[in-house]
Structure 1
């Protein structure tokens, strides 16, 4: 898959476009249809991601990660505002011969009309449903707010992820015998509620088990900022500056204010035991 941050002139393509926030099962059905249709018609498969304004569940880098094995030829990010987007960008610039959209696309009738004027075919993809309910962002948002990451995994077709760089923290985890990887993610990334999570880490194509604390740290400092600190189990490498993917699998507990480091250490050991037991079932 070739990835571009701007649109380039192309021809003979099969295209799908949209925000693709979350990359849920419905999006995957659209992507699979693009890939299959492109191959059947000797076209190039193209996905155009249009980033939302404000906070997002899935950053552009995470979309790239989640789509990397989808067999797409080209992934474009389009950030401009264009009045006649389908006509000017999808058809004229990208050379779409076929456009693939979900059956409940917001501007479906206008899209069909524009496509017909240029003799471009439109393929509709049926909604993917869970328990007879169409999967859409509001369902995923509800599961997220409920800290129900098993439900999110079911709706998305993959675990909720955070992709970022390991940065230097204050090394406070070492004071409780628990050195952590501090993950820096883009500001616009929607982060889980404060608490302790059962997680997995993907680093250099290797998978590791981890317990992750997200939020402020009332027992160790008084700073008013949120950190993402992953304690990778049975791990001792220097990974500062590396990119990693954090999979969130289950909410363990909320933030607790402890009176001393001995209490922190005792709770940490209980959390690690619970995380190991949960991840053994997932693995």
Structure 2
């Protein structure tokens, strides 16, 4: 909000699509969009308003092959109601050369380099330890993944426990293998569940890592839909069981653990 009026965020990929005009801008990677990043964005918006300039967050999306905690599309969603005027997503790393090019190309009236806030060491520690409650505290929100529901092999249906299989963007960081208590967002509604991230040693010998969620009290066909998945806490490691019945018995225990966690 600015001066009581709603500001619609414009998300632009590449500086060539920006008209030459004065901007109040901040540079960074903003991976994770944690609390420090959000505080920096609020400061940027306030400064731009005092200078009567549009505010722009210049986000370096990283080099090809680099996995991120927050994709550019997710940053747009998180910043949609912040009051920011522009989110400018650029390919490449947050280097001095790239920053200099952008400053000259946009003829920035004023700017702030907040690269110091792009330290992801704390997030890395939480992620690698599978400590997603600490991740939530650092970011003020759970670690989330958005993607499309795709067809799996349907083995869950054979034991009365159908799962949804999530396909995520290739540059999105996938949590380490494990079974997690999760919340899934579908058509504006939320559903609690249990998500297995990893291989499936009990049902096949394939090396592919999948993201499979069993939702509580849900039986709709949502193949092809885009959904969101929030990771809350680790329940257990991925293990090999002796047959699908043993898997089903363990999943029942996992469901109890998840329900107890969500309370």
- TM-score tier, shorter chain, comes to 0.7 to 0.9
Q: Does 1:251 align with 2:242?
A: no
Structure 2-normalised TM-score?
A: 0.87
- Residues 10/164 of structure 1: CA separation in 2 closer, same or farther (3 Å cut): farther
Of 74, 78, 95 in structure 2, the residue corresponding to residue 66 of structure 1 is 78
1:202 and 1:73 map into 2 onto residues whose CA distance is 27
Matched ranges for 1:192-271 at <5 A: 192-271=175-254
Match of 2:3 in 1: none
Tell whether 2:31 aligns with 1:21.
yes
* Contact 1:14–1:45 (Cα < 8 Å) also in 2: yes
What's the TM-score once normalised by structure 1's chain length?
A: 0.82
2:123 aligns with 140
Q: Quick one: distance in 2 between partners of 1:41 and 1:204?
A: 40
Q: Give unmatched runs, 5+ long, in structure 1.
A: 107-126, 128-134
1:89 paired residue among 102, 121, 138: 102
Contact kept in structure 1, 2:27 and 2:99, CA below 8 Å: no
Distance change in 2, residues 1:101/1:84 (3 Å): closer
Per the TM alignment, residue 12 of structure 1 is displaced from its structure 2 partner at its CA by 2.7
In structure 2, stretches of 5+ residues that fail to align are: 1-8
User: CA-atom RMSD, angstroms?
Assistant: 2.0
* Distance change in 2, residues 1:83/1:269 (3 Å): closer
Pairing of 1:7-46 with structure 2 (within 5 A): 7=15, 8-46=18-56
Report if the CA contact (8 A) 1:30-1:100 is conserved: no
Pick closer, same or farther for the CA change 1:156–1:80 going to 2, 3 Å. Answer: closer
On the 8 A contact 2:193/2:215 being kept in 1, the answer is yes
> Residues 105-120 of structure 1: matches in 2 within 5 Å?
105=115
- CA 1:231–1:69: 2 relative to 1, 3 Å: farther
CA 210–65 in structure 1, closer or farther in 2 if over 3 Å, else same: farther
Secondary structure class of the residue paired with 1:96: coil
CA contact (8 A) 1:61 1:163 kept: no
Q: Secondary structure at the match of 2:124?
A: helix
Report the Cα offset of residue 227 of structure 1. Answer: 0.4
Q: Does the Cα contact within 8 Å between 1:9 and 1:95 map onto a contact in 2? A: no
Name the residue aligned to 2:14. 6
**Worse-superposed segment, 158-167 or 76-85:** 76-85
How far is 1:265 from its partner? 1.0
CA–CA distance in 1 between the matches of 2:224 and 2:30?
28
Matched residue pairs, number? 250
Runs of 4 or more, structure 1, over 6 Å off, are: none
C-alpha change, 1:83 and 1:233, in structure 2 (3 Å) is same
Structure 1 residue 74 displacement after superposition: 1.4
